With several copies, the nearest count.
Chain A
Amino acid sequence: MDKLINEPTAYVDEMLDGMVAAHDGLRRLDGTDVLVRADGPVEGKVAVVTGGGSGHEPTHAGYVGEGMLDGAAAGAVFTSPTADEFSALIDAADGGAGVLCVVKNYEGDVMNFDTGAEMAGMEGVEDVEQVVVNDDVAVEDSLYTSGRRGVCGTILVHKCAGAKAAAGADLDEVARVAEKVVDNVGTMGMALTSCVTPEKGEETFDLADDEMELGIGIHGEPGVERTETASADEVADTLLDHVLDDLDVAAGEEVVTIVNGMGGTPLSELYIVQRRVAERLDEAGVDVHDAWVGDYMTSLDMKGCSVTVCRVDDELKELLAAPAETPALTVGE
């Protein structure tokens, strides 16, 4: 197995210890897989927290720090954290002004977070709000699905909600801003290879060298369609078309884009995709306010990428530009 690991069962535990060893700004709650700001809870500030399965690094704890998240709970690989962990997270992050939980839409995450919030409520944390991110346009939101998945657009929710909270806004305001991002963001992803989970040690699904999966999530689950591989430009076109179509972005509007790597694709290839995304938006008369390129929300060692588009107004632009100091994202003053 081509992995730098010790015991597969120690994967999450050792990774979290490594994060704390590298980043002074992070602290691990004893006996949990929860990382919080070392200088937290910040008295009087709304806390913004999240959580989810591991294997998506730097998501989630990589975004814990000033101006972004106050804490994150890590589940087993691709498995949402348990209610206890969410509860411990909420308790520890609460600075008395309430807690906003950013959850990626999936029944497992939502159910565990709900239960965790209830448990935290029992322990005296009163104001807990949940925002559910569901930016994956590959999945129809219909009677036949459990709604759209939450994927890479979530990072923009973390950034904007985190900045709003840092600016001293109250819980309602922070939640409003988070919802605004959710309403304006769409993502679609694709995979060239399956990922390999530490426990299974082999590819989750078979994908021939000349095949790709379109509309994948971030858990190594199959996508919505399998096709022949295509050029980077064609891939960029397909992903972008779906997203623009869904968001109904018009010429003259302003957006922020993310070309996100799934973990095993080199940065150089992401820039090749970025080139085409920028070209296409330029042709469409859409104004790109900012473009992010990199591994923001991954699926272990999967090769592939996702394209995120978020419509921004002055408020969101300001929040995105606000300072942040986290292991995975730093925005200077």
Chain B
Amino acid sequence: MSADSDTEALLDALERIDERLHDEQAYLTELDSRIGDADHGNNLARGISAVTEKRDELAGKPIDEAVKTVGTTLVSEVGGAAGPLYGGSVLSASQELEGGLDAESAVAFAEAYREKLTERGGARPGDKTMVDAVTPAVHTFQRAVEEDDLPSVDALAKAVDAARRGVEYTVPLRASKGRASYLGLRGVGHRDPGATSTLFVLEELLATAED
């Protein structure tokens, strides 16, 4: 059944993301200590651990329900800014997967994620937040699928590339949202933690898709 194999892929992806975020926990927290409050890696590690603990529960669900549970779990475990942003956006975008996961619904999911994220946090590109990784990634993915008719994996590879450039783009910026905004020009020269973690998640999604 399609629901099952989609969810299976999700579980694979979550496992990879779990490993990656724990590997990068200290690094992300370190980035956050430069321009924030030194907890971003810890927040995400706590969240993804809670998600993977629900592995069995997720396994029995169709993809949209499973993703929804991922979102609510993040909302109720991560806290801080990242919790409602990551979790709330996943939660809200999950409904795009009602009919299962394919190239089209993946694009819809991505766009819904981006929309909810910007609506919730009020950040625009250039504000030095996770939005700077998410926006170019989503637009690139969308164009690659819808206009260039690329296979999803190739489209995702392009999206990851775009996100990576988005992360680098945050370095010289002055933040206008989040704790980094309190620093004014002192934050210039530092990578945004939320954008960076977004890139890590996308990289793991790509690795799953490539397998």
Taking the complex as a whole, does A directly touch B, i.e. does some CB pair lie under 8 Å apart? Answer: yes
State whether B29 touches A106 (Cβ < 8 A): no
By DSSP majority rule, is chain B's interface helix, strand, loop, or mixed? helix
Report whether B181 and A219 are in contact in the complex, using a CB–CB cutoff of 8 Å. no
Q: How far is the CA of A85 from the CA of B33 in the complex (A)?
A: 26
Known: A146-B181, A221-B37. A81 touches B176 (CB 8 A): no
Chain A CB within 8 A of B84 CB: yes
Q: In chain A, residues 59-108, which have Cβ atoms closer than 8 Å to a Cβ of chain B?
A: 75-85, 106-108
How far is B179's CA from A224's CA once the two chains are assembled, in angstroms? 12
Among B38, B75, B82, contact of A84 (Cβ-Cβ < 8 Å): B75
8 A Cβ contacts from A124-144 to B: 138-140, 143-144
Residues of chain A within 8 A (CB-CB) of B82 are 108
Interface residue tally for chain B (C-beta within 8 Å):
37
Q: Mark A111-123, 1 if CB is under 8 A from B, else 0.
A: 1100100000000
Q: B78 within 8 Å of A by Cβ?
A: yes
- Inter-subunit contact A107/B81 (CB<8 Å): yes
What CA separation (Å) do A144 and B180 show in the bound complex? 10
A330 within 8 Å of B by Cβ?
no
Q: B42: which of A107, A149, A199, A217 is its contact (CB, 8 Å)?
A: A199
Q: Which residue of B lies closest to A215 (CB)?
A: B182
* Residue interface bits B82-93, CB-to-A below 8 A is 1, else 0: 111100100000
Q: Does residue B76 face the partner (Cβ distance < 8 Å to A)?
A: yes
Q: Mark A169-209, 1 if CB is under 8 A from B, else 0.
A: 00000000000000000000000000001011000110000
A217 to B35, CA, bound (A): 12
**Cβ contact within 8 Å between A149 and B182:** yes
The yes or no answer to B54 lying at the interface (CB within 8 A) is no
Contacts of B78 in A (CB 8 A): 79, 82
Q: What 0/1 readout, one digit per residue, does chain B (176-211) give for beta carbons within 8 Å of chain A? A: 111101111010000000000000000000000000
Q: How far does the alpha carbon of A108 sit from the alpha carbon of B78 in the complex, in Å? A: 11
A263 within 8 A of B: no
Is A79 within 8 A of B176, CB to CB? no
Q: Tell me whether A224 and B79 are in contact (CB under 8 A).
A: no
Within 8 A of A (CB), among B89-142: 120-122
Contacts of A222 in B (CB 8 A): 34-35, 183, 186
Is there contact, CB below 8 Å, between A224 and B182?
A: yes
Picked from B33, B43, B76, B174, the residue with its CB within 8 Å of the CB of A79 is: B43
Given A82-B79, A220-B38, residue A200 in contact with residue B176 (CB < 8 A):
no
What A residues does B43 contact at CB under 8 A? 76, 79
Counting residue pairs across A and B whose Cβ atoms lie within 8 Å, the total is: 124
CB distance from A13 to the nearest CB of B (A): 13
Q: Return chain B residues, CB-CB under 8 Å to A225.
A: 186
Whether B61 sits at the interface, judged by CB under 8 Å, is no
Our pick among A83, A143, A204 for the contact of B176 (Cβ within 8 Å) is A143
Q: Are B178 and A146 in contact (CB under 8 A)?
A: yes
- Give the contacting residue for A78; candidates B39, B121, B174, B182; CB below 8 A: B39
Instruction: Mark B59-86 against chain A: 1 for CB-CB distance below 8 A, else 0.
Output: 0000000000000000111111111110
In the docked arrangement, what's the CA distance between A146 and B122, Å?
Answer: 9
Provide the residues of chain B in CB contact with A106, threshold 8 Å. Answer: 81, 179
A76 near B39 (CB under 8 angstroms)?
A: yes
- A106, A149, A215: most-surrounded residue (chain B CB, <10 A): A106
| Contact residues in A for B42 (Cβ distance below 8 Å) | 76, 79, 199
Q: Residues of B contacting A268 with CB < 8 Å?
A: none
**Bound Cα distance A81, B76 (Å):** 9
B166 — which chain A residues lie within 8 A by C-beta? none
A145 an interface residue at 8 Å Cβ cutoff?
Answer: yes
A247 to B13, CA, bound (A): 52
**B84→A217 contact, CB < 8 A:** no
Among B33, B88, B122, B183, the most chain A Cβ lie within 10 Å of the Cβ of B33
Q: Is the pair A112, B38 in contact by a Cβ cutoff of 8 Å?
A: no
Q: Which residues of B contact A108 (CB under 8 A)?
A: 79-84
25 A–B contacts, CB within 8 A, in A order:
A53-B80, A76-B43, A78-B37, A78-B38, A79-B39, A79-B42, A79-B79, A82-B83, A83-B76, A106-B81, A107-B178, A111-B85, A115-B84, A139-B181, A144-B184, A146-B178, A146-B179, A200-B29, A217-B182, A219-B37, A220-B33, A221-B35, A221-B38, A224-B182, A224-B184
Given A80-B80, A220-B38, A221-B183, 10 extra CB contacts under 8 A? A76-B39, A83-B84, A84-B76, A107-B121, A111-B84, A140-B184, A144-B176, A145-B181, A145-B184, A197-B39
Interchain residue pairs A-B with the least CB separation, the first 4? A219-B37, A108-B81, A111-B84, A145-B181
